[in-house]
Amino acid sequence: MDYHFEFRPYRRLFKQPLRTRYGFWNVREGLILRLTDAEGRIGWGEVAPIADFGTESFAQALSFCQFLATEISEGTIAQIPATFPACQFGFGAALENLSVVPSGNAQTALNSLWTVHEQSYLLPTGRDALRGWQDPWQQGFRTFKWKIGVVDSAEELRHFETLMQCLPEKACLRLDANGGLNWDTASRWLATCDRLTSSYAAKVEFLEQPLPIEQFDQLLNLHQQFRTPIALDESVSTLTQIQSCYQKGWRGIFVIKAALAGSPEKLRSFCQTHAIEVVWSSALETSVAQHFIRHRLIPAVPASDRAVGFGVDHWFLDTTLNQLDFEQLWQSL
Ligand SMILES: O=C(O)CCC(=O)c1ccccc1C(=O)O
Ligand SMILES: [Mg+2]
C-alpha cells in the first residue's frame, strides 16, 4: 500500500537557552510528518533528532525527507537505516497512527497527556534552580530534574546542598550530568547524594549519565559502589545501544527518549520481552510525538512507577506546538 507523504519543518525558541555540558541550546528544530492513505486516513508523526545523543542531525533528517517521493510504501519506511533513528521513530509512529480510530474519549485523552504528579519538572541549571522549584511545587510537581556539570563542581555541590535543604519532604530530585563528569567528580557527587539523601527530607532519585558513554565499565562500577542509583541516558539513546548495555549487564535505570530510539514497534517489543527499569524522557518534542509515546507506547509495555521526564514545555516561548489538534498544529507551520 502506498501513502501520500508530506512534511513540514518546525523551529521552537526556548524562553532561555537550555544549558547542558554540550553548551547552550537556543532553538529546537524538528519535522512534523503527515501520511495519508487511500481512504483518506491520516497518520501524524514527528522527527525530533538530537545529534549530541548520536542520532542523525536535523539537517540530515530534513534532507532525507526532501529526498523521499511524495508517495511512499511501508517498505520504504522499513528500509530507513539505523543511522536515522529519529526518522525511524517518526515514520514508524505515523504508520501506526494511520490505524488509530479515535475512540469516543479521544477528546478527554487529548486534553490530559500527563498530570503534573506523574511528570518530572526540568529545573533551570546552576543557582537558578534554588528559585525554580517553588512554583512547580505549588502546581503539584513532586519530581524535579537538575542538570549538573555545567559550572564549577564545587559551586554546584554547594547549590546542591542548599537545594536539598530547601526541598520539602516527598520531593524527588534527579541529577543529570549528560556524561560530563570524570571518575573523581562523579564519585564526589554520588557520595554527596548518599549523604544528603540520608540527611534531608527530600530524596535524590538518581544521577543520570555521570560519565561519557565510552566508560560503560566505570558506570557499572559506580552503580555498584553507591546507594544512589545511576541512570543511563546517552548510553542508551537508540534501541541498538539499549540492547548492547542490557547484554553487557546493565540492570540499572534506562532513561528512554523514545523519539530518538528508532522503530517504536521494535522498542515496544524489546520492553515487552525484557524487564528493564525505564524512565520515559522527553527529547523536547512537540505534542505529536508526546501523544504517540503517551498513548501508543507506554501503555503497551510493563508499567514504570517513576515520573516521566516530560515536564519541559515551560522551556518554550510558544505553546502552539503543544496543542493536541494536530491539523491546527500542521496549519501553523
Ligand atoms: O528527562 C527529563 O526529565 C527531561 C528531558 C531532558 O532532560 C533532556 C532534554 C533534551 C536533551 C537531553 C535531555 C537529557 O535528559 O539529558
Ligand atoms: Mg539526560
In the chain, where the domains are located: 2-106+324-331, 113-316
170 annotated active-site: no
Side-chain-side CA neighbours of 207 within 13 Å: the count stands at 29
Options 3.30.390.10, 3.40.50.620, 3.40.710.10, 3.40.50.1110; which CATH number does 2-106+324-331 get? Answer: 3.30.390.10
- pLDDT, tens digit (0-9, with 9 covering 90-100), for 136-167: 999 999 999 999 999 999 999 999 999 999 99
Does residue 21 surpass a pLDDT of 90?
no
Catalytic pick among 15, 145, 257, 266? 257
Q: From edge to edge, which strands make up the β-sheet containing 203-208?
A: 277-280, 253-256, 230-232, 203-208, 172-176, 143-147, 119-122, 308-311
Question: Which of the listed residues 233, 235, 255, 279 should we mutate to test ligand 1's pocket, taking the one with most ligand atoms within 8 A of CB?
Answer: 233
Whether 282 lines ligand 1, by a CB cut-off of 6 Å, is: yes
Q: How far is the CA of 178 from the centre of ligand 2 (A)?
A: 5
- CATH code for 113-316? 3.20.20.120
3-state SS class at 302: coil
Give which of 202, 188, 222 is closest to 144, Cα–Cα. Answer: 202
Q: How far apart are CA 146 and CA 125, in angstroms?
A: 6
248 annotated active-site: no
| Angle made by CA atoms 62, 68, 73, in degrees to the nearest 5 | 130
3-state SS class at 45: strand
In this predicted complex, what is the ipTM?
0.99
Does residue 108 surpass a pLDDT of 50?
no
- pLDDT, tens digit (0-9, with 9 covering 90-100), for 37-82: 999 999 999 999 999 999 999 999 999 999 998 999 999 999 999 9
Does residue 134 surpass a pLDDT of 70?
yes
Does residue 103 surpass a pLDDT of 70?
no
- pLDDT, tens digit (0-9, with 9 covering 90-100), for 253-299: 999 999 999 999 999 999 999 999 999 999 999 999 999 999 999 99
Catalytic pick among 147, 170, 248, 266? 147
